[in-house]
Structure 1
Amino acid sequence: MQGEFNGLKELILNSNPSAYYVHCFAHRLQLTLVAVTKKHNEVGDVFNIISSIINIVGASCKRMEVIREKQYARIIEGLEHEALQRKDQDIENSMSLLKTSKEQFKMMRENDWESLLEEVQLTELDDHFTETSTELLLCVACLNPSDSFSAFNKEKLLHLALFYPSKFSIVDLMVLGDQLDTYIIDLCGDDEFSGIEGIASLVEKMVKTKKNLIFPLVYMLIKLSLLLPVATATVERVFSTMHIVKSRLRNRMGDKWINDSLVVYIEKDIFDKIDNEAIMKQFQNMKTRREQL
């Protein structure tokens, strides 16, 4: 995906330098935690053992069923014979564990382990990912309408526009500054925009109230911001599901067929709302059929 020469990111940037790649936040956290744990052998060994157990058990339905049955038997046995007898002991153990946990947490705070872990994670994030995506997302966050546009920051939004030179000329940047001043005063004083959560809802409300026509450059900035996470997530879902749609038994699918199939699979929440009868009638009317569906 991020190959320097032939990766998908580089191929797209060759066509459009403003098509920025924003890595999935959850994936970034995962990669960072993996990198941190690899530097501590004991922690890394635990994750390796857990991973091996999951792979071994998950590879066999029979093994999974055996484990489930043993777990059920344990639960039933505990409920029938030991639950009441061990109630007092469990309470005592819980109190002891709580006391130990507090002591360990206090020790960690005294030794500043928490700050050290955060520092290591931030270092790994800087090593793995470029500053551009972080800057973009920090600027995009200023468009969030939550809490009466409390995150609004004119300077950061002007900086965001600089990432798209093909959309904002020097003159546009000057006009954008004036529009942002009027935009924040207008929307904060409009009851229609009170209580809005999320940039997507903001766009819908702007179109509904025709504010997109009053602040066209601000509206363009918001649309470009919405494309960042949506485009990245969609592309990732396509690659994740492609092997499901085009399997070994359907490896001769043409580009149009696989594209249509992927759209239906990825946007299944939308297509689930379409009645099957309507689809059948549309298919039936495409050309004359021997049999009526």
Structure 2
Amino acid sequence: METTALSLKAAIVELFARHNLSIGRVRGQGYDGASNISGEFNGLKALILKEISLAYFVYCFAHQLQLVVVGLATKHYEIYRLYKELSNLVNIVGGSCKRIDLLRETQRESLGLNSEVETGSGKLQELSLARAGDTRWISHEKTILCLLTLYPSVIDVLEYIEKSGEFSNHQNQARGLQEFMKTFNFVFYLHLMKYILGVNTLCQALQRKDQDMLNAVKLVKLTDESLKCYRLEGFDSLLEDVTSFCEKYEIEVVDMEAEYVYPRFKRKKTGITNHHHYVVNNFNTVLDMQIQELGSRFNEVTTKLLTNMSSLSPSCNFSAFSKVNLLNLAEMYPCDCDFDEDKRFANLSGLGDLAKMMVKTSLHIDCPLVYRLIKLSLVLPVATESVERCFSSMKNVKTDLRNRMGDEYMNDSCICYIEREFLQQVSVKEAMQRFQKMKTRREQL
């Protein structure tokens, strides 16, 4: 199947027609960042918007968040170098089963010698260096946390590779990684990125299947505020963690009051202290880039649309309700909207609950425009995680041994695999009875 924007649009139109639906009724689009999808002029979203101006496009929040990490890594040299060396480290340490076993064995020995660690059944879990993924913020954090925990074990494995490596390039890589990992700069940026990536409430929320749009918008703002607060007050605590780590593993600590020296031009006078270099040129700069990238990425979303929808949230007894925002939301959907407090609505937690309660109390009949606005808010996605999980599950259904199955059979199999949690609630007896009643059978099941 072709994946050009025109062919995808034709497939969508054909799908709507097959189910007797009008594509002119589409009120929202949600995709990832593929060029054939998000192109400003010839992308799929642009082609649909040309015909249907009310099909507002919302960029997948989860992909936007990942692009924040990618953007920072490409703009700041030290962070770029950190990511690059971490990737090389995972490749060389996890390059063979022997090295992985050596890492685990070294970890067990270090835990056994450490009297401060409480061992026993269920107390500890075996760790290994995790490879950072391209589509999840939290995978980068996991890599850093594992490295901080396994730091002495990783150093031992690198020393072993340097001494007994079969190939000279592996020995040179191991030697270079050791030198880099025993520097103050490495420890400093590792702990800095540990905190930045640790603000992962947003990431965890965006990976959920039951996505709440209003909660996602709120978490974007909270993440931005947390980074700004850390920029103003976090350097001293970061320096304490870095210094403590360096002293523990006998890494030379930089004197913050001494004059900063350029690594490549050691005789050149800089006129600044190490404290100024690490605070202004690194700590503040990295966080400013992160905040700016976060703001620019999520500002591309239809901010006005999401802000207006927030007035429909029933949380805290409709504390976010705004008549002006509600009217603005109605104006954004002109084709759908022509121009005593109920305690049952007091404890609702989301738009889905509000819609159900309106149907339950028949208010969707008395207030059809409000009910329509709620439905429009519910169908506009902020993340495509559930859709991408469906695509990922296809490789488990259509394997090399089942590569000739038809589209209908594959579709049925994928539904059973994807909705397996729901299907587990269906008993075998009920399935047999339904199958038996579909038509007359020769034998009774």
Counterpart for residue 67 of structure 1: 103
Compute the displacement of 1:257 (Å). 2.1
Cα RMSD for the two superposed structures: 4.0
Is 1:202 the counterpart of 2:347 in the alignment? no
Compute the displacement of 1:222 (Å). 0.6
Counterpart for residue 262 of structure 1: 414
Structure 1 residues 243 and 73, CA gap change in structure 2 (3 angstroms):
same
Compute the displacement of 1:217 (Å). 0.6
Contact 2:355/2:371 (CA < 8 Å) preserved in 1? yes
| Aligned residue identity for 2:329 | L
Q: SS state of the match for residue 320, structure 2?
A: coil
Counterpart for residue 163 of structure 1: 332
Question: Aligned equivalents of 2:310 and 2:42: distance in 1?
Answer: 31
In the superposition, the TM-score normalised over structure 2's length comes to 0.48
Counterpart for residue 319 of structure 2: 150
Contact 2:72/2:290 (CA < 8 Å) preserved in 1? yes
Which of 74, 81, 102 is the matching residue for 2:237?
102
Contact 1:35/1:124 (CA < 8 Å) preserved in 2? yes
Question: Aligned equivalents of 1:228 and 1:50: distance in 2?
Answer: 38
Matches within 5 A, 1:112-261: 120-121=289-290, 123-125=292-294, 128=297, 131-168=300-337, 172=338, 174=339, 186=340, 189-229=341-381, 232-261=384-413
Q: Which runs of 5+ in 1 are unaligned?
A: 84-98, 175-185
Normalized per residue, the structure richer in helix is 1
Range with bigger deviation, 218-227 or 73-82: 73-82
Structure 1 residues 158 and 243, CA gap change in structure 2 (3 angstroms):
farther
Is 1:41 the counterpart of 2:77 in the alignment? yes
Contact 1:23/1:232 (CA < 8 Å) preserved in 2? no
Counterpart for residue 92 of structure 1: none
Compute the displacement of 1:17 (Å). 4.3
| Aligned residue identity for 1:153 | S
Structure 1 residues 158 and 116, CA gap change in structure 2 (3 angstroms):
farther
Contact 1:22/1:232 (CA < 8 Å) preserved in 2? no
Contact 2:235/2:283 (CA < 8 Å) preserved in 1? no
Compute the displacement of 1:203 (Å). 1.4
In the comparison of the two structures, how many residue pairs are matched?
260
| Aligned residue identity for 2:70 | V
Structure 1 residues 67 and 114, CA gap change in structure 2 (3 angstroms):
closer
Compute the displacement of 1:114 (Å). 7.7
In the superposition, the TM-score normalised over structure 1's length comes to 0.69
Q: Which runs of 5+ in 2 are unaligned?
A: 1-33, 120-233, 241-274
Range with bigger deviation, 237-246 or 193-202: 237-246
Is 1:272 the counterpart of 2:424 in the alignment? yes
Contact 1:21/1:232 (CA < 8 Å) preserved in 2? no
Counterpart for residue 61 of structure 2: 25
Compute the displacement of 1:82 (Å). 12
